[in-house]
Structure 1
Amino acid sequence: MSWVTARIKVQHTSREMELTAVNLAPTKRGFPAGFSEERLDETRQLLDTRRTGFSLEAPFYTDDHLFNLDMQAIFGQSWVFACSVAEIPEPGDYVTLDYGPYSLIVLRTDDGGVNVLHNVCRHRGARVLTADNGTTGNLVCGYHSWTYSPEGDLIHASAPGEMEFDKACYSLKRAHGKIVAGLVFLCLAEEPPADFDDTARIFEPYVAPHELAKTKVAYQQNIVEEANWKLVMENNRECYHCDGHPELACALFPTWGLTDETIPPHLEDVWDRNQQAQASLEYRCRRYGLPYEVVEELDTRVAGIRISRESLDGQGESFSADGRRLVKKLLGDLPDFRLGRCSMHLQPNSWFHLLGDHVVTFTVLPINAHRTLVRTTWLVADDAVEGVDYDLETLTHTWKQTNLQDKNFVELCQRGAMSPVYEQGPYMKSEYQVEAFINWYVTRMREHVG
């Protein structure tokens, strides 16, 4: 299995991941090493005194120990978006995901499900699979050839003269995995959050008509941003900065997140055009039986979500300069290209744009306290032909440029958070979703530290 992949800077390596979070090993109390009772009290105080409506204190963006706690309390407990089924379409196809100290294998099974295995050999801890993606039968560690089944069972570890031992005791460690409407999620917790199934029931009717199982990867971009993962997520949760996205603003109305009361004078005409386009879109959605209503529970449930179907400017079909379709093939059983974008945010690490002609998925994978991998994947109909049904550069242009602009924005914020004079700043009314994300984060951390 292969697809076009681009890397901006140098993508993190497994070795780097090990070096940047070596202190995550839990103490007897279950917290990362280095978390004394005094440090836990300091963390609780930071959480308890967090100013509502303001950004976090600087240590939440800069401190290595708090990053390790994030990996345990957030990424070690939440359902995390891993990939789409288009990235692992056939049995034996896999992707590997590294975040914080963790390395995971997400492997498609013969029955169409997924196995999620920790990518740590039970012999001496070597990475079993080292490629970002590929196809495999059994999993063979390249160090001493310990061999595991797709379920993670150890099936071969013999050497001349060695005594027999119980192989059943040395299976690869497993995590939870599930597929919902073609999106693949994993969870490292022994007991995953139970409300994810309720969240899945919310978004499945919006996503299912795009039939991701009948798509393929057109392109994948990996960008390492020199910023804390929370700054990456905060940046995505608002459009206050969207004047800095000229390519995106051709199709995405820059009034996103605003209301009648908060529209500035220079955007009043755009606001009126947006309202007309939205009314037309909702009419078509009702005609076709497609859900479009806003569901917003970003901080009122463990598996926080915001989803809606929203109009695009111009022709209202895709992320192009004039809003026209970028791919000639409709996805799934959709009846019309003029369906705007189905926009979904999921806590803690993902957002999605599902259009009539293609889908863009975004995965945020923390590396350390001040580095984050953002993975963007473009999906098109599996029978779409590059150069015939779409031009790859045109298809990816808007979000390639937008991602680079966002990289610059969040890196500016990271440098500011590291300054001795940094202090919390207020969120504007249009940044209410940033506040919701931070409130969700603080709630999860409070639950963890007690």
Structure 2
Amino acid sequence: MSVVNFMTHGELTLSRKPGHGMPGELFGRQDVFETDVDVFFQKHWILVGVTADVPEPGDVSAVDIGKASILIVRDDDANIRTYRNVCRHRGARLKDAGKSTVGMLVCPYHQWTYDLDGSLKHTTHMGVDFDRSCRSLIPVKTRIVGTHIFVCLSDEAPADIDVLEETMLPRFKPYDLTHTRIAHEAEIIENGNWKLVIENNRECYHCGATHPELTASFLPEDFGFCPQGLSEESQRALDAYHARNAASIASWEQDGLLCDTVERLDPGVVTGFRTQRLVIAGNGESQTMDTKVANKKLFGDLQRRDLGDVHMWTHNSWTHVMSDHAVISYIVPLAPDKTLVRTKWLVHEDAVEGADYDLKTLTEVWVATNMQDASLVSINYRGTQDPAYAPGPFSPFTEIYLELFSQWYAARLSAHGV
């Protein structure tokens, strides 16, 4: 009789050789997936939307995360509130995933009716002694950073969201991102595990061969390179890169802009993130094919176009903010082999399509990049499930952040007893 050598989730994680990829079972097993959702999407802070998702009082955005669902609501005082998408009667969903506009939140099952502040306002057939005051909608812990809506579904939300907030608010402030609107949004279901989606986003080893639109605006040295055995031409290019970076940073800092890189990615951190102001190639203005702004109406009261790319990573999102538009993506795991990627393109709230910007010019870089990444994640996932797969070594020059992510992932599982 054969004996199956079944390793637990924790044992699989610990079996990873340092400097190498994760075992394939960490990407493909259903029990691993369910634990990942519980730990990384229920107990950590995650990005679930932007303030422009609910621009007016009465606007609602319902977002599903695993078995959970939340409501993002703009109340009558224009404040953003978040609630569990669960009626306090018998648990019916108040709203299907997506956006809508309401006067009040009415349960479709028995018509229990809630104000936008979450209070239960109306019921029938509950008797004169029924106390509505203890049946308000359940609030969700929320932080708004710039335009980013972060939530934590745990009763014990990690306190170090304060560090992310304190770091990013002054970086986003010049752009006045709360006064923006969504010019375009898109969803892609990538056929791969959520960790592979994040790994793909954390390295640009693959970019030169697969992302011609994206690399038009990138300085490739920003994403790692092997410094060994450089030709004279490559050394001149590297020297030019350092000179351009130094000149751009000096110019930005003279205008009072924050440029230093902040990395909180090590295993001891709970709320991991990274931010950097990246120099844009070519004309240096925006992530477009010609590297010029796509939108003449700049964010806030900005006058200067060449402000680089304020880049932010978290464990479920990535953000690029330029002077004229922002691209914000976040992921929701759906299954071991399926991950939803939502992307939103933001512009100044007064920008007019056709007058201030052309939508194709604004979106074509990341529309193409997202489709290319979806294909890469799919082939990567299928390969990790092949019996022949054995985790290979990371590049020490271009895949540094994959090793850091792998270490952080293992540490967070361990902290939750996995």
TM-score using structure 1 length: 0.86
**8 A contact 1:106–1:115 mirrored in 2:** yes
CA distance, structure 2, for counterparts of residue 170 and residue 64 of structure 1? 35
CA distance, structure 1, for counterparts of residue 93 and residue 264 of structure 2? 38
CA distance, structure 1, for counterparts of residue 226 and residue 24 of structure 2? 34
Identify the residue that residue 304 of structure 1 maps to in structure 2. Answer: 272
Secondary structure (helix, strand or coil) at the match of 1:444 reads helix
Q: CA deviation at 1:387?
A: 0.4
1:384 equivalent to 2:343? Answer no
Q: Which whole-Å deviations, capped at 9, do the CAs of 1:189-240 have from their partners, x for residues lacking one? A: 1010011102211111111111111211100011111111111011000100
1:277 equivalent to 2:244? Answer yes
Q: Indicate the larger mover: 147-156 or 240-249.
A: 147-156
Q: CA deviation at 1:416?
A: 1.1
Query: In 2 relative to 1, CA 249–226 (structure 1 residues): closer, same or farther, beyond 3 Å?
Result: same
Q: CA deviation at 1:325?
A: 1.0
Matches within 5 A, 1:356-395: 356-395=323-362
**8 A contact 1:274–1:311 mirrored in 2:** no
Identify the residue that residue 290 of structure 1 maps to in structure 2. Answer: 257
CA distance, structure 2, for counterparts of residue 268 and residue 401 of structure 1? 31
Counterpart amino acid of 1:187?
C
CA distance, structure 1, for counterparts of residue 160 and residue 274 of structure 2? 15
Matches within 5 A, 1:56-205: 56-130=22-96, 132-159=98-125, 165-205=130-170
Counterpart amino acid of 1:291?
L
Q: Indicate the larger mover: 179-188 or 214-223.
A: 179-188
Secondary structure (helix, strand or coil) at the match of 1:60 reads helix
Q: CA deviation at 1:267?
A: 5.5
Q: CA deviation at 1:76?
A: 0.9
Q: CA deviation at 1:44?
A: 2.4
1:313 equivalent to 2:281? Answer yes
- Structure 2 gaps of 5+ residues are none
Identity %: 38
Q: Indicate the larger mover: 116-125 or 349-358.
A: 116-125
CA distance, structure 1, for counterparts of residue 54 and residue 310 of structure 2? 23
Secondary structure (helix, strand or coil) at the match of 2:220 reads coil
Query: In 2 relative to 1, CA 312–181 (structure 1 residues): closer, same or farther, beyond 3 Å?
Result: same
1:426 equivalent to 2:371? Answer no
Identify the residue that residue 54 of structure 1 maps to in structure 2. Answer: 20
CA distance, structure 2, for counterparts of residue 408 and residue 371 of structure 1? 12
Q: Which whole-Å deviations, capped at 9, do the CAs of 1:404-424 have from their partners, x for residues lacking one? A: 000000011111122122221
Identify the residue that residue 192 of structure 2 maps to in structure 1. Answer: 227
Q: CA deviation at 1:312?
A: 0.9
**8 A contact 1:247–1:398 mirrored in 2:** yes
TM-score using structure 2 length: 0.92
Query: In 2 relative to 1, CA 268–91 (structure 1 residues): closer, same or farther, beyond 3 Å?
Result: farther
Identify the residue that residue 298 of structure 2 maps to in structure 1. Answer: 330
Q: CA deviation at 1:79?
A: 0.9
Query: In 2 relative to 1, CA 267–98 (structure 1 residues): closer, same or farther, beyond 3 Å?
Result: farther
Q: Indicate the larger mover: 149-158 or 163-172.
A: 163-172
CA distance, structure 2, for counterparts of residue 335 and residue 263 of structure 1? 43
Q: CA deviation at 1:432?
A: 0.5
CA RMSD of aligned residues (A): 2.2
Q: Which whole-Å deviations, capped at 9, do the CAs of 1:281-333 have from their partners, x for residues lacking one? A: 11221121000111111224211111111111111001122211111111113
Identify the residue that residue 435 of structure 1 maps to in structure 2. Answer: 403
**8 A contact 2:86–2:92 mirrored in 1:** yes
**8 A contact 2:64–2:97 mirrored in 1:** no
CA distance, structure 1, for counterparts of residue 385 and residue 91 of structure 2? 35
Counterpart amino acid of 1:278?
N
Q: CA deviation at 1:276?
A: 3.3
Identify the residue that residue 411 of structure 1 maps to in structure 2. Answer: 378
Q: CA deviation at 1:93?
A: 2.0
**8 A contact 2:13–2:22 mirrored in 1:** no
Counterpart amino acid of 1:84?
V
Q: CA deviation at 1:403?
A: 0.3
Q: Indicate the larger mover: 334-343 or 238-247.
A: 334-343
Q: Which whole-Å deviations, capped at 9, do the CAs of 1:152-194 have from their partners, x for residues lacking one? A: 33332314x9786443454333321121222211110101001
Q: CA deviation at 1:272?
A: 4.2
Q: CA deviation at 1:394?
A: 1.0
CA distance, structure 1, for counterparts of residue 239 and residue 358 of structure 2? 32
CA distance, structure 2, for counterparts of residue 157 and residue 420 of structure 1? 57
Counterpart amino acid of 1:334?
L
CA distance, structure 1, for counterparts of residue 229 and residue 346 of structure 2? 34
**8 A contact 1:47–1:446 mirrored in 2:** no
**8 A contact 2:63–2:97 mirrored in 1:** no
Question: 1:245 pairs with 211, 229, 237, which one?
Answer: 211
Question: What number of residue pairs does the alignment pair up?
Answer: 410
Q: CA deviation at 1:401?
A: 0.2
Matches within 5 A, 1:29-40: none
Secondary structure (helix, strand or coil) at the match of 2:388 reads coil
CA distance, structure 1, for counterparts of residue 76 and residue 246 of structure 2? 44
**8 A contact 2:9–2:26 mirrored in 1:** no
Counterpart amino acid of 1:426?
P
